[in-house]
Structure 1
Amino acid sequence: MSESMHIGMAGAGLSCAVIARELAERGHRITIHETRPHVAGNCHTERDAGSGVMVHVYGPHIFHTDDEEVWTLVNRYMDFKPYVNRVKATARGQVFSLPINLHTINQFFGKTFSPSEARAFIESQADTTITDPQSFEEQALRFIGRELYEAFFKGYTLKQWEVDPKRLPASILKRLPVRFNYNDNYFAHRFQGMPAEGYTVMVQRMLDHPNIIVHLGSALRPADVGQYDHVFWSGPLDAFYGHAEGRLPYRTLDFERFEGEGDVQGCAVMNYNDVEVPYTRITEHKHFAPWEEHARSVCYREFSRRCGENDIPYYPVHLTEGDQLLQAYQARAAREQGVTFVGRLGTYRYMDMDVTIRAALDAVRAFINARTA
């Protein structure tokens, strides 16, 4: 692939930023069209003028990975400060520690279990008649039992997805650990941190290359694909085809911003598990940069709802009964020549940031190898 190519990209989020940099360093010309007035997609961060707090504009993003290559890559463009995500949850009039750990179990049941006692107790609560959990609810009942499920997951899940947990796949819950020690680190990955100057600056540095041109407030249309030697599309998969098969379902988020003096809630993330509370969580953004000090605070109440035509899509909706609509679009994408679909929206997959970067690296290397061959 020695001959220089002109590559078009839809979107300036993590996926296209990683791919653009890889190709630009190999001598190819990159033109990126980003519909928003900024790069970094939903990872966008900006310094609040009034308080000085670094705000995660589209909700908090915490970097965590076991992938050493991905960790090395992001640190090439940004110094990552140590950060441990310690989530709290309000349920039934009390505040608990998440993920469910030995302290949560002892507090919830009013016990003083040792690790082995807690493990045996939770197993006694579990529904052992479920041998192959298929749904979110079956997964929860099998591994933690009904009481913990209804207190910590059922209400939150109903608010987040607006779907009966019986219809959601078990894989959603499998991402959440249960620990029989007092470790309240939400993630178990080796590498965890926050970018010292925010994600947007990191992505700007990735895109800072003479072979990369970024057009903000500009959309790459499917009709424009022929202008380029190849296109990487990180927009919604169904939008590329003009929603010809129908609209893929997404959840979107609304944020109710409020400010306060000092420390408003004492932690970065407070989940609200009770279904009667309309929001899923409150995030206090100053706590995502604990190395900084600010007199004022910026908080978000987070509400989940069905994504409309003009909303920002956040989470693809997968159900246990399968998805013929998605399969129809995937079949069309597989036949596409000159276009690679990448990212959460382009592949219709929920991916954490590290997985997004790994998928982007794999995609660009597969493209390079194919062109070389």
Structure 2
Amino acid sequence: MTKNVAIIGAGFSGAVIAHQLAKAGYQVEVFESRSHIAGNCHSERDAETNVMVHIYGPHIFHTDNERVWKFVNEFSEFKPYVNRVKAITNNRVYTLPINLLTINQFFNKTLRPAEAQEFLAEQGDKTIENPVTFEDQALRFVGRDLYEAFFKTYTVKQWGLDPTELPASILKRLPVRFNYDDNYFSHKYQGMPKDGYTAIVEKILDVPGITVHLNTPFKPEQKSDYAHVFYSGPIDAWFGHREGRLPYRTLDFEVHRDQGDYQGNAVINYCDNAQRYTRITEHKHFSPWEQHEGTVCYFEYSRQCEEGDTPYYPIRLARDKVQLEKYVNLANDEPNVTFIGRLGTYRYLDMDVTIDEALKTADKFLECANEKAQMPAFVINPLG
């Protein structure tokens, strides 16, 4: 096999595959339509305050995957960081995820763990035996009061859909704890890269054999110039949206700069309709080992993604799966192209999963090359 490969997108998916293949002797060209690498994980110093800003919204690294943790630590020192989210609803501040403190504060009680578990079970709607929708799951799981205070309106603002239109599986990912643990994640490894995410991707791409082209879109007809193409852009865009546009949510950020400490925490969710924004993130709190007199806050607004917007979250309703299946069939008939990452597989992926799948994709490609076998369009089935 000719050892020249094109990778579309310089986020974690593309960069990790480029790194692995270049180390194996391939000549890799990375095409990035934006003016920077690292995709939506791109971070940079704010010119006015010197705060490290997560340009496309906050990214907190968390994983149980030993291989992934070892891999990223080759390229950066990770500083300890615990994501402790607060939520404001009805003019009161609570801690998320819902835990013993949240329950006791909200219901004005002093319940012990077993008592709280029994109490919350009583709040749940037992007439809902098989939850189908987000609302069903919430009502059965935490009851109407907590559902309406923390989830109902926030979900409408975030997804632009009524909770009765969303699948129950979304809420299954949200934990309820019957202790005072307010760590938003429960993974073994959690942290923030000392010098930001873009510095990691720069080092991942700093391997002989890799050439990066910024501000350079890649057209499908260019694929004939390469032995193989790895594509991390939107799968529907590769096929010219011939089956229609897959729906995404996008984010708008209103940037606020000030002096001192604006909100005292990195992330505060706004769970009612008193504000249009879903949350405020104060970026200097993502780097608590640094000291800054100034501060940078992002007021975050979610809306439907339109042409020209940056896609963030695939919606993946049942009706979207039919449309996605058509694109998957087209992809499976597309020789020498593998679709990767969040956009290429139309799935919501955390950073650690993205890196893990990229490593596995590179492994699979090298295996196929060794066996002179055809590389599949997907290493992970988007319909699974």
Q: Same fold (TM over 0.5)?
A: yes
Equivalent position of 1:205 in the other structure: 203
2:220 counterpart of 1:222: yes
Query: Could you tell me how far apart the structure 2 residues matched to 1:82 and 1:172 are?
Result: 28
8 Å CA contact retained: 2:7, 2:28: yes
For 2:191, what is the secondary structure of its paired residue? strand
Q: CA separation in 2, counterparts of 1:321 and 1:112?
A: 45
C-alpha change, 1:4 and 1:338, in structure 2 (3 Å) is closer
**1:329 — aligned with what?**
327
The offset of 1:237, in angstroms, is: 0.3
Q: What residue is the counterpart of 2:40 in the other structure?
A: 42
SS of 1:323's equivalent in the other structure is helix
Q: What is residue 285 of structure 1 aligned with on the other side?
A: 283
Cα separation, 2, equivalents of 1:24 and 1:9: 12
Q: Which runs of 5+ in 1 are unaligned?
A: none
Q: Whole-Å Cα distance in 2 between the matches of residues 367 and 16 of structure 1? A: 13
In structure 2, the partner of 1:70 is 68
Aligned pair partner of 1:103 in 81, 86, 101: 101
Task: Report if aligned partners of 1:134, 1:320 keep a CA contact under 8 Å in 2.
Answer: no
Counterpart check, 1:193 vs 2:191? yes
* Kept after mapping to 2: 8 A contact 1:44/1:200: yes
1:170 alignment counterpart: 168
Identity %: 58
Per-residue CA distance 1:164-199 (angstroms, 9 max, x = gap): 111112222122111000000000000000000000
The answer (yes or no) to whether the contact 1:102–1:115 under 8 Å persists in 2 is yes
Residue 239 and residue 123 in structure 1: after superposition, are their counterparts in 2 closer, same or farther (change >3 A)?
A: same
TM-aligned CA deviation for residue 322 of structure 1: 5.2
How far 1:134 moved relative to its partner? 2.0
- Matches of 2:283 and 2:253, distance apart in 1: 13
| Equivalent in 71, 84, 87 of residue 86 of structure 1 | 84
Query: Following TM superposition, by how much is the alpha carbon of 1:317 offset from its aligned partner in structure 2, in angstroms?
Result: 0.8
Q: What is the aligned partner in structure 2 of residue 133 from structure 1?
A: 131
Task: For residue 370 of structure 1, report the CA deviation from its aligned partner.
Answer: 1.7
Cα offset, 1:275, TM superposition: 2.6
CA drift of 1:135 comes to 1.6
**Which residue number corresponds to residue 300 of structure 1?**
298
User: 1:216 corresponds to which letter in structure 2?
Assistant: L
317-326 vs 122-131, which moves further: 317-326
Q: After TM superposition, list the pairs within 5 Å mapping 1:351-362 onto structure 2.
A: 351-362=349-360
Distance 2:343 2:228 in 1: 19
Matched, 1:310 2:308: yes
Corresponding position of 1:253: 251
Q: Shift of the alpha carbon at 1:52? A: 1.0
Deviations 1:289-320 (A, max 9, x none): 00000000000000000001000000001224
Structure 2 stretches lacking a partner, 5+ long: 372-384
* Deviation sequence 1:147-177 (CA, Å, 0-9, x none): 1011001111000011111111222212211
Match of 1:243 in 2: 241
CA distance in 2, matches of 1:322, 1:132: 23
Q: Which residue number in structure 2 is paired with residue 347 of structure 1?
A: 345
The answer (yes or no) to whether the contact 2:2–2:227 under 8 Å persists in 1 is no
Deviation at 1:330, TM superposition (A): 1.1
**Deviation readout 1:266-300 (Å, 9 max, x if unpaired):** 00000000034100000000000000000000000
SS of residue paired to 1:77: coil
